[in-house]
Amino acid sequence: MRLLVSAGEASGEMYGAQLMAALRRRDAQLEFLGVGGERMRAAGCEIVVDAKDLSVVGITEILSHLPKIYGLYQRLIKEADKRKPDLAIVIDSPAFNWRVARQMKKRGIPVVYYVAPQFWAWRLGRVRLLRDYIDKALVIFPFEEKFYRDRGVDAAFVGHPLADLPQPAISRDDYAAQFHLDAAKHWITLMPGSRIREVRTNLPTILETAAQLGRDYEFLLPVAPTLDRTFLQRLTGERPIALVPESLPALRHSRAGIIASGTATVEAAMMRTPFVMVYRVSTLTYMLGKPRVKVPRFAMVNLIAEEEVVPELVQHDFTAENVAARMREILSDGPAREHMLQGLTDVKSRLRGSESTQSQHPADRAAEIILELLRLKSLHN
């Protein structure tokens, strides 16, 4: 059996690698091809399109990259026509993946959407795309199952792939020695996003904030798999910023973080690292997108908690002065820090789901549903 897997950014690529490992544990003969990066390649996927080449964000940014994205999309579809997968799994990245899903559906190939797009947040009308082109939506937030089912989508909550993340094994002292950090100082993790445009937009203000907070802290910047280290080195310049390879150990051993909106905020919550959420897009993207937003909060942690657990500094509120002020509130011991730590603990509990879903990793639950779809397809054939 051959599966097409399409994951267009760092978080989706990580989920794809987890899912492929879970599928292979159940059926070692499965073959994979599609869109991904090094993690998915290491998990056994033949990469047709590199996820790095799809790393754009925002309405206006996507428009400027349309010819390139369309060419990559055509390459993937041609390869699918040649290899004829038995099932397609699309992961997040709706701007690219709903088109992939549509083409697979036209060819009679069952489609599973793992980490279904957050249409409940900003584009309710797009739910029809899932109804039309998706055979099964596997959702990772507990409220999504009812939302999608109420709108005619066959959805199942499998839990968040990050909810069962193990604590990194490396000790703080060993980590400090490995990356030449001062273990006597508090550390702050900086995560400006996993796409080039996000980083260019968010990182300068984050670096200004680091300068305001001063040399009493060590600053760690994990290099996302979709980014090149040299690109980040050019942006950080001579500033005392430690570029590190993985986010989880950095978050685990940091006192706090400055985190761009996205999956990294969930990673920080799973490590119980207090943080300030920041984000900025182009002025035009913000003007076009803001009226479509249907939720009261931006940070995923706050949406899950149904209250403000972490501060949200978005667009014009995202200034170095504002971020530094909110960071100082949570860097020191006190009510603000304790309230946030308790909120992050509650979010982790919600993401794990009920006791019936906690016995398995979300990727394992997703794998079993996918294999059942494959079994049903083979019976019908």
Helices (H) and strands (E) in the chain, counts: 19, 13
High-pLDDT (> 70) share of the chain, % = 89
pLDDT tens figures, 78-87: 999 999 999 9
Res. 211: pLDDT tops 80: yes
Task: Please give the Cα distance from 198 to 279 (Å, whole number).
Answer: 8
144 band by pLDDT with thresholds 50, 70 and 90: confident
> Which of 14-23, 32-41, 133-142, 294-303 is least confident?
294-303
Selected residue with higher pLDDT from 166 and 240: 240
Closest CA to 317 of 165, 205, 229, 197: 205
329 φψ region: left (φ > 0), alpha (ψ -120 to 50), beta (else): alpha
Mean predicted confidence (pLDDT) in 43-56 = 84
> Which of 225-239, 273-287, 353-367 is least confident?
353-367
Closest CA to 136 of 86, 85, 73, 87: 87
Cβ–Cβ under 8 Å, residues 206 and 176: no
pLDDT tens figures, 304-331: 888 889 999 998 899 999 999 999 999 9
Which distant-in-sequence residues (6+ apart) come within 8 Å of 116 by Cβ?
A: 130, 137, 138, 139, 140, 144, 148, 155
271 band by pLDDT with thresholds 50, 70 and 90: very high
Task: Please give the Cα distance from 52 to 196 (Å, whole number).
Answer: 9
Q: How much is the pLDDT for 59? A: 42
Selected residue with higher pLDDT from 257 and 121: 257
Cβ–Cβ under 8 Å, residues 5 and 89: yes
